């Protein structure tokens, strides 16, 4: 088991209400002084009814004041924190302006400086088209035995013998590798953490959270695993540190009990989402806390 320092134990306590550091411990300077978060809605969104109050929040990105980057920044007492993450972001939005309803945001990498010393990056889901794929695989009647036409998205996607997502995955891998290279150019002294996606989707459907046939649910889960495998390959290729939130959140998918799940389903009304403001198939408050724990745990390890 990794041995954490008092500083990291105290950092975790700040967010998750574990035991406080010993009273005799002397205050220490922050380990990191300038943290920039980059990513898509799995980074930005949790309880969107609580918008962030910061000059660095991008316009109309549905950022939450309780997303994992803000929890990490608070736990580490980082003096300078900029969260560039935005719902709908793709790898292209790292270096080009992202159009959002009623406006445009600058490229996410513009938030980096030569003094940035900590970066988290979570990207790729929208490049693969998971945000479009999930609705295609849902059917309100999918779990009614014998109903004609229920389900079938997996069969349709693989009818030609090659799933289009395979090609997208290869292209996205190259783009994420290139993104990490550009981060290093702009923030040459930064520690970079590549954060993967939570274990959100089980291999079987459930009503009403994931109304899909078991075949289609298993197909969706396979694409999530494909995405995370690709990110692990990128981390190995580029030498950045992978934060494995998938393994840390297994058993907390959308089909679990409301007080267990870390990701909301089609109807986001669980006890973990009291304000009914989490997006479907996105982390709830407990999910964001799990992401933050995984990041803080990774930071406590040797780089």
Active-site residues, by number, are: 41, 282
CA 163 to CA 176: how far, in whole Å? 21
CA 256 to CA 238: how far, in whole Å? 35
Structure tokens at 96: 């080009």
Residue 22 CB neighbour total at 10 angstroms? 9
CA 74 to CA 30: how far, in whole Å? 11
Residue 92 CB neighbour total at 10 angstroms? 15
Beta carbons within 8 Å of 76's beta carbon, 6+ residues apart: 11, 30, 31, 32, 35, 118, 296, 299
Question: Using CA of residue 255, residue 156, residue 170, residue 61, what is the dihedral sign?
Answer: negative
CA 283 to CA 262: how far, in whole Å? 6
CA 142 to CA 149: how far, in whole Å? 8
Structure tokens at 44: 């930005």
């Amino acid at each position: 088991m990794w041995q954490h320092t008092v500083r990291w134990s105290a950092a975790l306590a700040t967010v998750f209400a574990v035991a406080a550091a010993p009273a005799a411990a002397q205050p220490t300077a922050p380990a990191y002084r300038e943290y920039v978060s980059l990513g898509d809605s799995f980074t930005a969104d949790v309880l969107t009814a609580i918008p962030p109050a910061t000059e660095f929040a991008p316009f109309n990105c549905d950022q939450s004041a309780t997303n994992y980057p803000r929890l990490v920044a608070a736990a580490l007492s980082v003096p300078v924190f900029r969260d560039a993450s935005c719902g709908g972001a793709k790898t292209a939005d790292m270096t080009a302006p992202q159009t959002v309803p009623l406006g445009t945001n600058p490229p996410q990498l513009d938030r980096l400086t030569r003094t940035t010393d900590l970066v988290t990056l979570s990207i790729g889901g929208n490049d693969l088209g998971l945000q479009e794929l999930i609705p295609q695989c849902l059917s309100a009647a999918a779990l009614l035995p014998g109903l004609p036409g229920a389900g079938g998205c997996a069969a349709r996607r693989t009818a030609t013998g090659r799933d289009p997502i395979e090609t997208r995955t290869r292209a996205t891998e190259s783009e994420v590798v290139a993104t990490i290279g550009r981060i290093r150019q702009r923030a040459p002294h930064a520690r970079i953490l590549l954060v993967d996606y939570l274990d959100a989707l089980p291999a079987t459907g459930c009503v009403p959270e994931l109304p899909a046939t078991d075949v289609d649910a298993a197909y969706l889960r396979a694409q999530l695993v494909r995405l995370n495998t690709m990110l692990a390959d990128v981390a190995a290729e580029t030498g950045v540190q992978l934060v494995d939130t998938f393994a840390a959140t297994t058993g907390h998918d959308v089909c679990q009990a409301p007080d267990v799940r870390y990701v909301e389903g089609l109807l986001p009304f669980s006890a973990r989402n009291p304000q009914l403001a989490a997006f479907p198939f996105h982390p709830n408050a407990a999910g964001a806390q799990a992401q933050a724990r995984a990041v803080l745990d990774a930071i406590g390890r040797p780089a």
